[in-house]
Amino acid sequence: MSLIQAIILAIVEGITEFLPVSSTGHMALVASFMNIEKNSFTKLFIENIQFGAIISVLLIYWRKFIDFKSYRFYVKLLIAVIPSVIVGLLIKKYIDEVLGEPVFIAIVMFLGGILLIFADQWFKDSTLEKEEQITYKKALIIGCFQLLAIVFPGFSRSAATIIGGMQQKLTRKLAAEFSFFLAVPTLAGAFAKSLWDAYKKTPEILDHHNVMMLITGNAIAFIIAIIAIKAFIAYLTKHGFRVFGYYRIIVGLAIILLLIFGKGFTI
């Protein structure tokens, strides 16, 4: 992987991590178009530049995360992340091997797009506008919705948690923001685990060159994610999810057609 390729992947990560479109799927697709070699470092890079996106959430919502008097906020995040931790540790590797095929991911993106087209209509009676109104039970249910992104690769963690939030009567804005909050412990855990696993299996993968690539990727993902989060919230508040639904349907169909007719195309 060249530096230019790493920068492009980081930009894609920053744009798509918090949008309901599947960031991992997009990075895999872009990596395929750029003919990036599939190896252990490529996998590590795609998984770990999510750390930059995490930092962007902490920066934008820093007042929320340092308000230590409001311990209930941290408890809600802990409760919400538990289902993903349990399922991730038990069956994530198995799911990736069995259901991580490109065609399956494309189908999930397509079906998820249909779901997003109707999300605004199905959950139009949302009334909860503040994080303080989210109960522990609602946080747990939203956390269970996050499992959709684990069990069905390509569904999108953001899409799953936002839909879960709206199903629990959160407004679009609050559902998106709680999805951002929940991304911090979820992605931080995934980041730490993938980095540790890579170090245990192939410690030489973390040589100076690769570490600098990871730092560069995370820095770019951090900057782009800040812009993406603010733009997404502004757009979502006014227009809803329909455009993201159509986009997912188009991308899902495009991947399927490329896999069928595109010679040498793989993701």
* Rounded Cα gap, residues 174 and 160, in angstroms: 14
Its pTM stands at 0.88
Task: State mean pLDDT over 186-213.
Answer: 84
Report which of residues 170 and 257 the model is more confident about: 170
Q: Which band of pLDDT confidence, cut at 50, 70 and 90, is reported for residue 262?
A: low
Yes or no: say if 213 and 205 are a contact pair by the CB < 8 Å rule: no
Task: Decide: helix, strand or coil at residue 207.
Answer: coil
CA distances (Å), 117 to each of 22, 56, 202, 237, in order? 16, 28, 43, 15
Q: How many CB atoms lie within 10 A of CB 159?
A: 27
| Of 43-52, 158-167, 192-201, highest mean pLDDT | 158-167
Is the pLDDT higher at 212 or at 265? 212
Which of 8, 50, 76 minimizes the C-alpha distance to 218? 50
For 170, the 3-state DSSP assignment is strand
Give residue-wise pLDDT tens across range 112-149.
999 999 988 888 787 888 999 999 999 999 999 999 98
Please give the pLDDT value at position 138. 96
In 3D space, the residue among 41, 38, 39 whose CA is nearest the CA of residue 49 turns out to be 41
Identify the band that residue 228 occupies on the pLDDT scale cut at 50, 70 and 90: very high
Output the pLDDT for position 126: 78
- For residue 127, which phi and psi values (nearest 5 degrees)? -130, -15
What mean pLDDT is predicted for residues 182-186?
92
For the cut 70, the answer to whether the pLDDT of residue 191 exceeds it is: yes
Cα separation of 232 and 124, whole Å? 19
Tokens at 261, concatenated: 């007719």
Higher-pLDDT residue of 258, 55: 55
Q: Supply the pLDDT for residue 263.
A: 54
Question: In the predicted model, what is the mean pLDDT of the chain?
Answer: 87
Q: What's the angle, vertex CA 115, arms to CA 111 and CA 118, rounded to 5?
A: 145
What does the domain layout of the chain look like in residue ranges? Answer: 3-261
How does pLDDT run across 93-105, given as a tens digit for each residue? 666 665 557 788 8
